[in-house]
Amino acid sequence: MQLTTILSLFVAAASATPCPGSPRKFGIMALRSASPIHFASAGASQNGIALNLSDARADADCVDGSKPKSATFYIEDERLYLYGKKGGVVQQFVVDRSGMGQGVVRYSTKTESDPTGHLEVKGWAVDENDNLSFNGTGLIGCPAQDGSWNIWLGTVAKPAGQEGCLGFSARTVDVKKPVQCTYSNYA
């Protein structure tokens, strides 16, 4: 085999393999049998994540022009991010487990330094069952007017006094062909 052929095979193999440091891209599917949210997937809009995102709230700006109702996530150094555009803004999740925050989960543009006070960014993990949690606390969904279910950390049963919230297993599922999107930011 000629050297040039070997080299081109090598280049082809290298470009087909994701770089070793590239974190897994995943979607979030809710598992809560015998409930309306069983198998619903999580989308991102207006700084929050929700199951069964409504058409109106599916407002991401994606490189392929799609308006996905399911968001693509990744974890790096225990921090949860939305899979964004190369060279674009980095959207990172922040939680507040304090009595004030009641387990609120929000994303916004990543800043130079970590937020302070009750806001936390580090603690996200996917366990051996592929469930996502924040330092051991799972997710809950609270029904909204438009049919979507806003996602909170399950630190309290009724965050902000909301009724009808349901805990669920946040099962992470591989996204084979992730699409880079910037999700709407009103913060």
Ligand X SMILES: *[C@@H]1O[C@H](CO)[C@@H](O)[C@H](O)[C@H]1NC(C)=O
**Cα first-last separation, the chain:** 58
Please name which of 98, 50, 100, 93 lies closest in space to residue 74, comparing C-alpha atoms. 93
User: Cβ distance 131 to 171 under 8 Å?
Assistant: yes
CB of 101 to ligand X, least distance (A): 13
* Closest to ligand X by CB, 54 or 109: 54
CB of 83 to ligand X, least distance (A): 23
Q: Report residue 166 as tokens.
A: 């349901």
Closest-approach residue to ligand X (CB)? 147
CB of 116 to ligand X, least distance (A): 14
CB of 115 to ligand X, least distance (A): 14
* CA separation for the pair 86, 90 (Å, rounded): 9
* Closest to ligand X by CB, 79 or 180: 79
* Closest to ligand X by CB, 2 or 128: 128
* CA separation for the pair 141, 131 (Å, rounded): 15
* CA separation for the pair 26, 24 (Å, rounded): 6
Q: Which residues contact 64 (CB under 8 A, 6 or more apart)?
A: 179
CB of 39 to ligand X, least distance (A): 10
What are the two backbone dihedrals, phi and then psi, of residue 183, each rounded to the nearest 5 degrees?
Answer: -95, 150
* Closest to ligand X by CB, 7 or 125: 125
* Closest to ligand X by CB, 84 or 141: 141
Tell me which residues touch ligand X (CB under 6 A).
Answer: 36-37, 52, 54, 123, 129, 131, 135-136, 138, 147, 169
